[in-house]
Structure 1
Amino acid sequence: MDSVGVSDVLVDIRDIGKCHRYYNRPQDRLLETLTRHRRQYHKEFWAIQGVSMQISRGEAVAIIGRNGAGKSTLLQIITGTMTPTSGTVTVRGKIAALLQLGSGFNPDFTGRENVFLNGAILGFSKQEIEARFAEIAAFAEIGDFIEQPVKNYSSGMTMRLAFAVSACLEPEMLIVDEALAVGDALFQRKCYARIEQYIERGGTLLFVSHSLETVRRICTRAYYLKEGMVRLAGRPPEVIAAYEHDLDISNRLLSTGDQAAAKPDVERFNDYGNRKATVVETWIETLGGERVESVSPPDPFRWCYTVDFNADVDRIVFGMRMVNVEGQVIYATNSLILDKSTFKVTAGARRTACFSIPTGALPPGDYFFSAGVSERVEGDDHFLHRRTDVGFLRVYANVAPTYYGMVNLRAELSIE
């Protein structure tokens, strides 16, 4: 990002850290003050440490990570509600943040009054807010409640108004932290559509979410926070792959306590597992058995892979995933979903799984396939071996397209 001009960088974070002090007893804080800190009564916890990032104008940047990874602390530092212990933060322009429902709202003020209050906090003039007020009220869809005190609102109404203020005033940067989770499906879709329009018009987005598919779809860069530090930064598909890899390792460690199982033989994000099994070969074939890398609708195909088992395993599940170039999941399934059963194997066994897939619903394009074999333990799947994006298929259009979009629903038209 060295080529980016200073004026284009809205957030510039350099090696920031945030340390919290914890005291076992309330009086320990006083004792430490009285001794003029010659004796330490507290314990330190670094919520984030050594974090650096830049967010430039027009970017859509995601921050992902498990609960407790430091995401909320980082956002509070960016928005100025928390001061870092170390490092520097430079923020330019008008930034609107949806961090907590109703944060910045005065519960005794009406919705209308809070619109002007929040707009002023964001740096907008009264005239600018008045010009957008009708749009804000219409987007929030809370009707006459706009004239009632916010303390009488439901959580959903509060979220609607908070998002409407932040989105409709169109600040230079919008920060969204899972705030849309409480809305109903229709309003969530309305919010995401507004975010997409905001990005298309050149707005800057900082998006914190556990919805990895949304991150893949709308973000251009991503940061993965782990234990308060940046584990990986880059394109969303690679960063998400690292996060999913660590999630699988952590879940297996928590459920089994097996430290060895938490360390795969191959430390690559697209190739991991405890190696009780090995995916040794993958391929795509026609129903006649011919191996191919391209098909034309309506010809179906099969995604196949062979697995060698290195240990006795009682409840095996074979799975697959198909994504497009942007990383959006087009289709994913497994043997447990399809036939409601698992498989038992012994060490030395070899099995081949083939998923037959029709092409009639697929638009032309390039697709990537993942293969995985897991063990079902107390309702959770633990990967024995998983290989992501190891298969490639190009779907050609053999006739002029009759639709747009991700799938062909084969609509029929009647005009009367």
Structure 2
Amino acid sequence: MSLLSVENLGKAYRAYRSEWLRIARWFYLPARPTEEHWVLRHVSFSIEPGEAIGIVGQNGAGKSTLLKMVTGTLQPSEGRVRVNGRIAAILELGMGFNPELTGRQNVRHAAGLMGFGAEQISRAMDDIEAFAEIGEYFDQPVRIYSSGMQMRVAFSVATAFRPDVLVVDEALSVGDSYFQHKSFERIRQFRKQGTTLLIVSHDRGPIQSLCNRAILLEKGRIIKDGCPEEVMDFYNAIIAEKENSTIEVRKLDNGKAQVVSGTGEATVGDIAIIDRSGRRIEHVDVGQMVTLRIEVNVHSYIERLVLGYGIKDRLGQVMYGTNTYLKKQTLSNVAAGSRLIYEIDFPMNLGPGSYSLQTALCSSDSHLVNNYEWRDLALVFNVVNIGKEHFAGCAWIDPVIRVAGA
């Protein structure tokens, strides 16, 4: 049995000529609205115990509306949500908090609404206060809290008791870096203990590090449901898409989906990693000096051309990225028919593992302006440790250690 099931869910906001007609609709009497705006429609998916799902999409795609219906704070216009377990949610900042009550009083109120008794709340109060780390403000009215302090208290009470399903909206984005790290570490602990996660974020980092599945919403409908790296690549392509650009998804020999988007004035051709003797290699030693060789074919006149690249780990998180705009090597007035060869030298100071390259051809420091081509999984390669001592992590940062007083 699924832990959470969403069946043909939809939400419409309707306007009526009078409030009497709106009330008549509640009792299923015939009452036609004068306006009807659907923010979410025909959304269906199920979540199994222990899964971690990321919900992504542009502003207005319906992400927050979906989470509110999943948690029961908003009633759907059609469809239904079935939950077989306890849900804890962090939605809009301070949602459900009374600004005139103290943090401690709001914790008692919020935990009570979550279904916990006074004795359970009292036992957990010290831990909630300690995790929030807002000091004496815990006994001050919430109306004097900063947004970050509200988020600390909201997260602390929502996660004081491990839920079956944890739902997190963008609220965590307002916190300081220290508390964000602390919060995500608690989420990771819950994941190890079997909690199911449903999270909304514009940041691909949390989605790809925490989730094993992602759902992309566009204009209130699901347009992609799959592995986080593939979904985030497709989402990135949608953001960059202009009127005359296209998005193409290609299945590679290794089974992965490559997303390519852009207007096509310039495209990447051959791409390879070259060693010092000029040989193409797919396995690179930790710290080895290599050359990334990228061929670019220009199909139309381009006033200004920028090449960017990024190295991603197996989860799709960017380990390093830069471009010729940042390096002050932009090309101007590039003629149609030009064939350009970029050679980029660097030491492969990465930890052992599988990596991929993404490339971007644009006109500035961002592919959101004149996206000629964005290509994910342009090249896949492996880093192996042949001659270095064993180390942990994703970067080779070899230290010199000095000890005084020994």
When normalised by structure 2's length, the TM-score is 0.90
Equivalent position of 1:394 in the other structure: 382
User: Which one of 274, 280, 286 corresponds to residue 291 of structure 1?
Assistant: 280
Q: CA deviation at 1:32?
A: 5.6
Q: CA deviation at 1:375?
A: 2.6
CA distance in 2, matches of 1:350, 1:317: 14
The 1:374/1:130 distance shift into structure 2, 3 A limit, reads same
User: Which one of 274, 288, 292 corresponds to residue 263 of structure 2?
Assistant: 274
8 A Cα contact 1:94 1:123, kept in partner = no
Deviations 1:87-110 (A, max 9, x none): 121123221111111112122222
CA distance in 1, matches of 2:317, 2:22: 55
Displacement over 4 Å in runs of 4+: 30-41, 266-269, 377-380
Bigger Cα displacement from structure 2, 72-81 vs 149-158? 149-158
How many positions carry a matched residue from both structures?
A: 394
8 A Cα contact 2:14 2:35, kept in partner = yes
User: Which one of 134, 137, 146 corresponds to residue 138 of structure 2?
Assistant: 146
Q: Which amino acid aligns with 2:394?
A: M
Equivalent position of 2:4 in the other structure: 11
Identity among equivalent pairs (%): 35
The 1:377/1:335 distance shift into structure 2, 3 A limit, reads closer
Q: CA deviation at 1:295?
A: 1.9
Equivalent position of 1:176 in the other structure: 168
User: Matched residue of 2:372: which SS?
Assistant: strand
8 A Cα contact 1:17 1:49, kept in partner = yes
Q: Which amino acid aligns with 1:347?
A: A
Deviations 1:111-135 (A, max 9, x none): 2221121111112222222222111
1:205-244 pair list within 5 angstroms: 205-244=197-236
CA distance in 2, matches of 1:160, 1:362: 35
The 1:267/1:154 distance shift into structure 2, 3 A limit, reads closer
Q: Which amino acid aligns with 2:86?
A: K
User: Matched residue of 2:401: which SS?
Assistant: coil
CA distance in 2, matches of 1:30, 1:168: 42
Q: Which amino acid aligns with 1:62?
A: G
Equivalent position of 2:353 in the other structure: 365
The 1:147/1:30 distance shift into structure 2, 3 A limit, reads closer
8 A Cα contact 2:165 2:198, kept in partner = yes
When normalised by structure 1's length, the TM-score is 0.88
User: Which one of 97, 100, 115 corresponds to residue 107 of structure 2?
Assistant: 115
User: Which one of 343, 350, 361 corresponds to residue 339 of structure 2?
Assistant: 350
CA distance in 2, matches of 1:34, 1:70: 26
8 A Cα contact 2:204 2:317, kept in partner = no
8 A Cα contact 1:223 1:233, kept in partner = yes
The 1:51/1:376 distance shift into structure 2, 3 A limit, reads same
The 1:77/1:380 distance shift into structure 2, 3 A limit, reads closer
1:100-139 pair list within 5 angstroms: 100-139=92-131
Q: CA deviation at 1:79?
A: 1.0
CA distance in 2, matches of 1:410, 1:391: 27
Equivalent position of 2:291 in the other structure: 302
Structure 2: give runs of 5+ residues left out of the alignment: 251-257
User: Matched residue of 1:337: which SS?
Assistant: coil
Q: CA deviation at 1:53?
A: 1.2
Deviations 1:5-33 (A, max 9, x none): x1xx221111111111146xxxx335967
Tell me if 1:83 matches 2:75.
Answer: yes
CA distance in 2, matches of 1:377, 1:231: 29
8 A Cα contact 2:266 2:296, kept in partner = yes
CA distance in 2, matches of 1:38, 1:192: 49
The 1:151/1:297 distance shift into structure 2, 3 A limit, reads closer
The 1:277/1:179 distance shift into structure 2, 3 A limit, reads same
Q: Which amino acid aligns with 2:154?
A: A
Q: Which amino acid aligns with 2:167?
A: I
Q: Which amino acid aligns with 1:63?
A: I
The 1:113/1:38 distance shift into structure 2, 3 A limit, reads closer
Q: Which amino acid aligns with 1:338?
A: K
CA distance in 1, matches of 2:64, 2:176: 24
Q: CA deviation at 1:378?
A: 10
Q: Which amino acid aligns with 2:384?
A: Y
The 1:332/1:109 distance shift into structure 2, 3 A limit, reads same
User: Matched residue of 1:174: which SS?
Assistant: strand
CA distance in 2, matches of 1:307, 1:65: 31
User: Which one of 263, 271, 281 corresponds to residue 246 of structure 2?
Assistant: 263
User: Matched residue of 1:414: which SS?
Assistant: coil
Bigger Cα displacement from structure 2, 33-42 vs 173-182? 33-42
Q: Which amino acid aligns with 2:9?
A: I
CA distance in 1, matches of 2:212, 2:198: 11
Equivalent position of 1:328 in the other structure: 317
Equivalent position of 2:398 in the other structure: 410
Q: CA deviation at 1:270?
A: 1.6
Equivalent position of 1:93 in the other structure: 85
Q: Which amino acid aligns with 1:206?
A: L
Bigger Cα displacement from structure 2, 373-382 vs 321-330? 373-382
8 A Cα contact 1:29 1:41, kept in partner = no
The 1:382/1:191 distance shift into structure 2, 3 A limit, reads same
CA distance in 1, matches of 2:23, 2:102: 46
Tell me if 1:188 matches 2:188.
Answer: no
